[in-house]
Structure 1
Amino acid sequence: MSPVSEPDPADPVRHWPLAGLVVRTPRLELRPDDDVGLAALADRALDGVHPAEQMPFLEPWTDGTDTPGFARGVMQYAWRCRADLRPGRWSVNFLVRSSGRVLGMQTLTGTDFAVLREVGTGSWLTRAVQGRGLGTEMRHAVLALAFDHLGARLARSSAFADNAASRRVSERLGYTDDGVEQHVRRGRAAVLLRSRLTPQTWRRPSWTPEVDGLDACRELLGG
């Protein structure tokens, strides 16, 4: 009788299937965050995400890059998202890599996804690689994952009115207006523009992302 082999204790996919998920585009590889990659992500945040006089985020997490614990806070945020992830409410933070180097983060979120079939997106890239179309490419990647592989029917996004770069990405991909909100940003009122996208209005790229490792994640994501 052949001996029964034990599972590899070093294989995290057994208990955390997201560790095996990957989405590949012509220039990028997106994988859910891992601890080694998060340390590199914190370094990219320290390198700079936007000019100091701007604030593109609802939560001004990029303020205070010169304070002790900033980089650790970047990692702790991702750990909280990972710890809170469950089928009814999830936020998957994909580390965006090019040639093995972490460049930023692309987030895909879902609430009651099994019923609503809606996702949200958010992202950032280190300033050194902005302006090369990578933000568009990584958004296409998670939209393909959501629409073509998870069966999403709607994707939502939002950007402040003065965040021209993010708004251009949404317009380029086919998003349509979905209302406005007012928020307090650095002590002043700021207008947030919401947008929505369906599989029918999505302006698909000329390439098709490669998705591996998703089947093991479907129960966790409600897909």
Structure 2
Amino acid sequence: MLTDHWPLRRLRLTTERLVLRLPDEEELAALADVAASGVHKPGERPFLTPWTDLPPAERARSVLQGHWSSLASWTPQDWELQLGVFRDGTPLGIVALRAQDFAVLREVKTWSWLGLPHHGQGFGTEARVALLHLAFEGLDAVAALTEVFQDNAGSQGVSRKLGYRPDGISRDVLHGQPVISDRLRLTREDWSGASVRVEGLEECRSWFVA
């Protein structure tokens, strides 16, 4: 069976309303359709990698390529777990947990996107909480990091609500112009915990920690 060779397929995070897991190929195509339909309002630029500026077909293709690339390049020293977010089987978007040298640093980073119709309903916060539960309670992380544009009020609010604290700034280039992101850090001590059911972790734990 595929799961014998790729036990990440068994990993599943369940919250009150959501299920987070690796999508199968047809579900991945459905998630690409969600991205093609839009993940933020016109004129907004919430991502440093401007993939949402692409035409819809290319935007969808980038979701497929990004997901396949994260699986193909996976090693315990450098990994990115991209999980589909589903509500009652309906795909809402993708959230990701990634790390380098996790066995030594015990730090993770997160990113996410949801289809525009699913904004403003708490799904993004609920999905991030599930990722953080996996990191802190399942994988024994000491900190979770994120970087957010200073004008991205929604993501800033979610991060601070969950207990992230300021950790400096980053300066990057987007469309030839400098942009500033706030670096935010959530430590194990500031993590308040959550009610999340994790299934299938033991079978793939060695994939995260060499």
TM-score, length of structure 1 as denominator length: 0.91
| Per-residue deviation, 1:186 | 2.4
Amino acid at match of 2:147: S
Q: 1:125 to 1:58 in 2, by over 3 A?
A: same
Tell me the residue number matched to 1:102. 91
Mapped contact 1:106–1:139 kept (Cα < 8 A): yes
Tell me the residue number matched to 1:210. 197
1:219 aligned onto 2:201: no
Mapped contact 1:50–1:127 kept (Cα < 8 A): yes
Mapped contact 2:35–2:59 kept (Cα < 8 A): no
Mapped contact 1:173–1:204 kept (Cα < 8 A): no
Q: Which string of whole-angstrom CA distances, capped at 9 and with x for unpartnered residues, describes residues 107-129 of structure 1?
A: 00011111111111000110101
Tell me the residue number matched to 2:46. 56
Task: Quote the Cα distance in structure 1 between the aligned partners of 2:187 and 2:22.
Answer: 24
- After superposition, where does 1:70-149 map in structure 2 within 5 Å? 70-149=59-138
Q: What secondary structure is seen at the aligned counterpart in 2 of 1:37?
A: helix
- Bigger proportion of residues as helix: 2
Amino acid at match of 2:133: A
Q: What secondary structure is seen at the aligned counterpart in 1 of 2:65?
A: helix
Runs of 4+ in structure 1 displaced over 4 angstroms?
A: none
Q: Which runs of 5+ in 1 are unaligned?
A: 1-10
Q: What secondary structure is seen at the aligned counterpart in 1 of 2:45?
A: coil
Give the RMSD, CA atoms, in angstroms.
1.2
User: Which of the two has higher C-alpha Rg?
Assistant: 1
Task: Quote the Cα distance in structure 2 between the aligned partners of 1:80 and 1:175.
Answer: 29
Q: Which runs of 5+ in 2 are unaligned?
A: none
Aligned residues: 210
Task: Quote the Cα distance in structure 2 between the aligned partners of 1:33 and 1:18.
Answer: 11
TM-score, length of structure 2 as denominator length: 0.96
Task: Quote the Cα distance in structure 2 between the aligned partners of 1:106 and 1:129.
Answer: 14
Mapped contact 1:117–1:153 kept (Cα < 8 A): yes
- After superposition, where does 1:23-34 map in structure 2 within 5 Å? 23-34=13-24
